[in-house]
Structure 1
Amino acid sequence: MKILHYSLGFPPSRTGGLVTYAIDLAHEQAKNGDMIYYLYPGKINFLKKRAYIKKDSANSYGNFQAFSLINSLPLPLFGGIREPNDFMANANKDCYFNLLKTIKPDVIHIHTLMGLHKEFFEVAAFFKIKIVYTSHDYFGLAPEPNFFYNGSNYVDDNSIKKWIEISKTALPTWKLRIFQFNSYKTIKPFLKKISKLKGVKNKKFTKDINYSNEKLRKFTLLRNYYLSIFGYFDFYHFNSTVSANVYNKFINIDKSEIISISNAGIIKNSFKLKEKNNSGKLRVGYIGPYEKYKGFFEFLKLTHMTGKKVEYHVFGSNEKIKIPSKIINHGRYSRKNIKKVFELIDVLIVPSLWNETFGFITAEALSYGVKVLTSNHVGSKDIIDRSFIFENINQVPKLLLNLNKYRLIRPKTINEHYVEIKKMYKKGN
């Protein structure tokens, strides 16, 4: 089978669950004999305004061929959209026409809408190529990927006025273009600091938002632009019940399936629960960004709810932050050392406040025999013992007392998931 994936790129320029999944699935498909094409938004060429596609030889091999989309649409990786017109810019269909005519894929697998022109989908429809979409983020339904703004989830308040409110603190397009520079990974922490500062200012000046008829018109056009793109998809692959519920709230979907996902880091261990450690303490951990949307500050509250026999560990960031003295802050960790991270904890808490579409850290922890408790906002709650899903962080201490009843559900490997996806491609024809 010939498969064209569209994702955000390759590490180290692009990281995160979406990128990991798309690359690992594509490599697994290539390993099993499929011909893989991998398209992603690349650099900005200021000397040429038109979009064009360039072969990426550095990331290509045999039956895995990578292509870079030069001068893609802007990438609102965080912070929303300030100028709608920049995200609806027309592209010459020739670059997409030539690519699809040349490679003739049997299926196109879309992992995000960020950066891709509507013309791509129009050309795919012209060639009658099946399009499958995996719900890694919410961009297109919302003006940013997470449906989370100013410390709260706005799934139930997704109005045009909310889009305009978010635009007030969004970065201008020229700054978003920095995401496509080779130096992006170096300056990413700086950009996030700017985003946080702008968020603080927004809390003070929300009354000053301009809801002019012109702005309402532009953002209405923008939302309709992306809703029309969703109409080109032949099949929706929801990676969790959480993402399925959000998408079904906004789109009429005929053909879909909920299939939890995997990656190459989820190893085929014995999948046995860890033995009790020798310290006599229960070691509880948090792994991820030290951000509100991830529930980090909810996790910190646990130190005031449990006794001395519980030890807390956090992993994920080197930024200076005030945390309770009871917590051991390990800072940033390397993916290469993930096994050592899981050796230091007995229980992982995933307390996200946003509607997290999945959350690979859950599956990875389970594969090392670590018990996992998740909030009901976390997509990967689908793969844990349902008795250990919580609605509020206040429920966690009681759950920790019942860990002897924890039932480990074995997470799937990437090869097992590859078989699922292969069957899914054949559905909905």
Structure 2
Amino acid sequence: MKILLVNIFYNEEGGAQKSTTLLAEQLVKEGHEVSVYSIDTDKPVNEKKNGVQIFRRNTTTFDLNYIFKTRKNRFKHLFYKFFEVFNKSAERNFEEILDVVQPDVIHFNCLSGMSLGIIEIAKSRGIKTVLTLRDYWLETPWGTKNNFIVNGMNRRLEPKVKRALSFVDIVTAPSAFTLNHFIEKEYFNSSHQICEVVENAVTFSQKNLKKIIDEKRSIVHNMDTRFLFVGSILRQKGIFKMVEAFKELSAYPNITLDIVGKGADLQELKAEIESDSRIKYLGFKSNPDLNNIYRSADVLVVPSDWDEPFGRVAIEGNSNGLPVIGSNRGGIPEIVHTTKGGEVFDISSISTFVEVMKKFIEMPNYNIYFDSILETIDTYQIEKQSEKFVKLYQK
């Protein structure tokens, strides 16, 4: 099949980007002709990477770099916000790419900045479409700040968003939580559109995972547990609550907490952790360095304070032999309950957070989690995800 994946970014720096990249490369391995349209560049670039044809485009009316800055000029911000939804430049790029690729199916992912009009363009050409819900931008395109202007603009745009989404043939989400959220708010109609959960995936070797776990089984935890956080350094990720809970564990001087990532709240985090020598910030890491960090840790902490559409870092941890402590937000509990490779806690309670971390410190071994991970982690193999999507494409 000829498949065109559409996502604002095409790299591996975030969850949605990783998921899109892994799927594209797996589909190529299976013999499909895969192209990608993204807007993550300052000038047009066509390139081929791992068999995937990538069309990177810029838009004259939308500055992708500006929109993610922490400090913004209010009027510029309003200007760019408008073009996140209505971007004629992105639509023209899309039509040119369609002429070149002539896809059998278009798979939309994160669309902020790419214009909702591209969905209608696909419909007008009779091309079948799949949309995967990887964020909440469709619900709050004007932003999430709770003020009169933002709330008013989101309400004003809602009918236009829903009209564009009515042209999508198949809707998927990586978690039942996210899919049900949008169906309940009537962004999709499950009686007229195919709506299915297709979990995000990771690439791993079962044989290698067993080797990693066998090595970890031999470790006797003597109150020296090594906790790890990997993700964006943002308050909504629960990182400051994690630091607060960790500091409460002062009775355990040999435990450590390593933090990997980058984000807008990094300087505030550095100031927060400088008084505790057990906490270290390791910077942003990518493979293979990140895999080595996963394997040297004991427990991965996923303390998100917002409703994660999925929480792929949890399966990254499990697939590297790490039990996971996950918050009760969004799709995270679904992962932990599926793999039984960790514990879920209530992020609204610091005392509960402290208790679940203490549980892992005082456990002599994590065999119960290791056994479960080995039995269940194949649910999230990239081959299984690809198989599910191909079946949907063929519908």
Matching residue of 2:199: 260
Q: 1:309, CA displacement in angstroms? A: 6.8
Q: Are residues 275 and 235 of structure 1, via their aligned partners in 2, closer, same or farther at CA, if it must alter by over 3 Å? A: same
| 1:232 alignment partner, one of 167, 170, 179 | 167
Is 1:288 the counterpart of 2:231 in the alignment? yes
Matching residue of 1:301: 244
Q: Whole-Å Cα distance in 2 between the matches of residues 365 and 8 of structure 1? A: 26
Determine helix, strand or coil for the equivalent of 2:163.
helix
Q: Are residues 378 and 329 of structure 1, via their aligned partners in 2, closer, same or farther at CA, if it must alter by over 3 Å? A: farther
Matching residue of 1:152: none
Q: Whole-Å Cα distance in 1 between the matches of residues 171 and 205 of structure 2? A: 27
Q: Note the 1:270-285 alignment, pairs <5 A.
A: 270-271=209-210, 272=213, 274-275=216-217, 277=219, 280=222, 281-285=224-228
Q: Whole-Å Cα distance in 2 between the matches of residues 373 and 90 of structure 1? A: 41
Is 1:164 the counterpart of 2:149 in the alignment? yes
Is 1:68 the counterpart of 2:56 in the alignment? yes
TM-score normalised by the chain length of structure 2: 0.77
Is 1:331 the counterpart of 2:286 in the alignment? no
Q: Which amino acid letter does the alignment assign opposite residue 328 of structure 1?
A: I
Q: Are residues 163 and 38 of structure 1, via their aligned partners in 2, closer, same or farther at CA, if it must alter by over 3 Å? A: farther
| 2:179 alignment partner, one of 220, 244, 258 | 244
Q: 1:313, CA displacement in angstroms? A: 1.1
Q: Note the 1:381-420 alignment, pairs <5 A.
A: 381-385=333-337, 388-392=343-347, 393-400=350-357, 401=359, 404=366, 405-406=368-369, 407-408=372-373, 409-411=376-378, 412-420=380-388
Say how many residue pairs are matched: 351
Matching residue of 2:17: 19
CA contact (8 A) 1:141 1:227 kept: no
Determine helix, strand or coil for the equivalent of 1:125.
helix
CA contact (8 A) 1:118 1:229 kept: yes
Q: Whole-Å Cα distance in 1 between the matches of residues 295 and 112 of structure 2? A: 37
Q: Whole-Å Cα distance in 2 between the matches of residues 349 and 94 of structure 1? A: 43
Q: Are residues 419 and 88 of structure 1, via their aligned partners in 2, closer, same or farther at CA, if it must alter by over 3 Å? A: closer
Determine helix, strand or coil for the equivalent of 1:384.
helix
Q: 1:257, CA displacement in angstroms? A: 0.9
Determine helix, strand or coil for the equivalent of 2:37.
strand
Q: Whole-Å Cα distance in 2 between the matches of residues 78 and 257 of structure 1? A: 34
Q: 1:17, CA displacement in angstroms? A: 1.2
Residue ranges of structure 1 left out of the alignment (5+ in a row): 46-53, 150-160, 167-215
Q: Whole-Å Cα distance in 2 between the matches of residues 383 and 398 of structure 1? A: 21
Q: Whole-Å Cα distance in 2 between the matches of residues 94 and 295 of structure 1? A: 40
| 1:379 alignment partner, one of 331, 340, 354 | 331
Deviations 1:83-124 (A, max 9, x none): 454345462766544432442211111111212223322221
Deviates more, 1:380-389 or 1:361-370: 380-389
Q: Whole-Å Cα distance in 2 between the matches of residues 61 and 302 of structure 1? A: 43
TM-score normalised by the chain length of structure 1: 0.72
Q: Are residues 68 and 290 of structure 1, via their aligned partners in 2, closer, same or farther at CA, if it must alter by over 3 Å? A: closer
Q: Note the 1:162-201 alignment, pairs <5 A.
A: 162=147, 164-165=149-150
Q: Are residues 131 and 311 of structure 1, via their aligned partners in 2, closer, same or farther at CA, if it must alter by over 3 Å? A: same
CA contact (8 A) 2:40 2:58 kept: yes
Matching residue of 1:222: 157
Deviates more, 1:62-71 or 1:279-288: 62-71
Q: Whole-Å Cα distance in 2 between the matches of residues 257 and 337 of structure 1? A: 35
Q: Which amino acid letter does the alignment assign opposite residue 329 of structure 1?
A: K
Determine helix, strand or coil for the equivalent of 1:420.
helix
Q: Which amino acid letter does the alignment assign opposite residue 388 of structure 1?
A: E
| 1:126 alignment partner, one of 102, 111, 124 | 124
Residue ranges of structure 2 left out of the alignment (5+ in a row): none
Q: 1:353, CA displacement in angstroms? A: 0.7
Matching residue of 1:91: 88
